[in-house]
Amino acid sequence: MTKYWFRFRRLLAFSAIWFCAAAPSHAQNPIVQTNFTADPAPLVYNGTVYLYTSHDEDDATGFKMLNWRLYTSTDMVNWTDHGAVASLATFPWAVQSNDAWAPQVVPRNGKFYLYVPISVPGWPKNVIAVAISDSPFGPFKDALGHPLIEKATGNIDPTVFVDDDGQAYLYWGNPNLWYVKLNRDMISYSGDIVQIDSKPQNYQEGPWFYKRNGRYYMAYASHCCPEGIGYAMSSHPTGPWEYKGMIMSPDKRSSGNHPGIIDFKGASYVFGFNYTLNFAATETHRERRSVTVSKFTYNADGTITEVPWWNPEGVPQVGTLNPFTRVEAETIAWESGVRTAQSDQIGVYVTGIANGSYIRVRGVDFGNNQASSFSARVASGSQGGTIELHLDNSDGPVIGSLAVLNTGGWFAWKTLSAPVSGAAGVHDLYLVFKGASTGQLLNFDYWKFNRQR
């Protein structure tokens, strides 16, 4: 416990510095604050956004990347952490110490294909690998036992799109842009690897290939450095690509960038990353990045209106959150001073909880004053603490409070309940943690409000 608690205290201190320094209470960017995330690859599937990311380790200075994480949302502001869905260990033949770079997941025929750039021993080292899962939540298993795209310098940043006629294309590359036609099995290809002659202006890396209203788009990390997001269009999946402009201009507040683009519930979104959390803690540039999102619009001719640099407000919520079904504690719009962790027993849970830390969940629809109690699955190996339920602010009206005593250990999970009153309509819910001890108060798995019987 002690070792972990010291680590958490360091992170809590870091989190507090960041929050006070850089985040207004309505902040939504970066969308994940519990881990450093980069290289966003959003997938819209069955009404949910599955956001796959690469993951910068907490102690990274340069790139230190070991696994790929998943976050989901149905409203674009509350994101549920699903932890690591694949790691370098998924590909035992690859270098295991680093280089789990920009991923993308693509569904086809009931399976989910994860394409990742990793490296192999020696030089050149960059390869592209593919793993398969029956579920978007993983776990993903190595499909081939060897690379899909063999080693060459710059074989990074895969992006895959399956066209309406069933032909799938894999693009990738830095500083060149290459493609191959994937076979229907999605784990092999036919024909030659083609280097694009019409590489768009200022193309660097991080291509994101998609089709919308019959037009093909290639968004990419542009300029160096800092990197912005540029895009090109084509009437054919293999080009020629015509540069169309910037989705986001480079900004010296960040050195890197990496687009991921979706339409969801009637709006268009571009994801990327910045270094806000890192620079809140230090002036030193370190590869500790954070995924961000902005809304954008298409013009009638399919071109894209440029958006400003990532704003702290992020994007508006689409829909509300139902508190009368089980909500994972790691469903977070914003937090202060907590972390997430993963166990084989219960999956992802919230930990590092100390006196004064909180989780904000946005747009919770309590209905017509129907909530009569609050239940939470918790564990504590210390004296425990209290979960205070505040509306609209961390010091807003209190609708209830759940006392958590020592449950017999940090993984001795218990479901506890407390009465609530005065919760009606749609509110932001702040789960504020209070406790007398200076150490960790509790671990938190999930919560739910209950209606009066």
> Which residues contribute to the site for ligand FUB (CB under 6 A)?
38-39, 54, 63, 101-102, 117, 156-157, 205-206, 221, 256, 258
Q: What tokens does 177 get?
A: 């842009």
Rounded alpha-carbon distances, angstroms, from residue 347 to 52, 111, 188, 330: 17, 22, 33, 10
Instruction: Select 179 or 446, whichever has its Cβ closest to ligand FUB.
Output: 179
Q: How far is the CB of 228 from ligand FUB (least distance, A)?
A: 13
Cβ within 8 Å of residue 9, ≥6 positions away: 354
- Residue 426 Cβ vs ligand FUB, minimum distance, rounded to whole Å: 37
Name the token pair of 144: 């081939």
CB of 30 to ligand FUB, least distance (A): 15
What is the CA angle 188-189-194, rounded to 5? 145
β 126-133/111-119 pair status: antiparallel
Which pair of structure tokens corresponds to residue 62?
A: 């340069």
Nearer to ligand FUB, 126 or 380 (CB): 126
Nearest to 73 by CA among 162, 136, 15: 136
Of 175 and 422, nearer to ligand FUB (C-beta) is 175
Nearest-CA neighbor of 149 among 131, 122, 168, 172? 172
Burial 188-219 (b: 16+ CB within 10 A, else e): ebeeebeebeebbebbbbbbbbbeeeeebbbb
Cβ proximity to ligand FUB: between 39 and 81 the closer is 39
128 vs 162, beta carbon nearer ligand FUB: 128
At its nearest, how many Å lie between ligand FUB and the CB of residue 91?
16
Q: Kindly state the smallest distance separating residue 205's Cβ from ligand FUB, in Å.
A: 5
Q: Is the dihedral of CA 60, 65, 66, 68 positive or negative?
A: positive
CB of 254 to ligand FUB, least distance (A): 11
Q: Of the two residues 101 and 366, which places its CB atom closer to ligand FUB in the complex?
A: 101
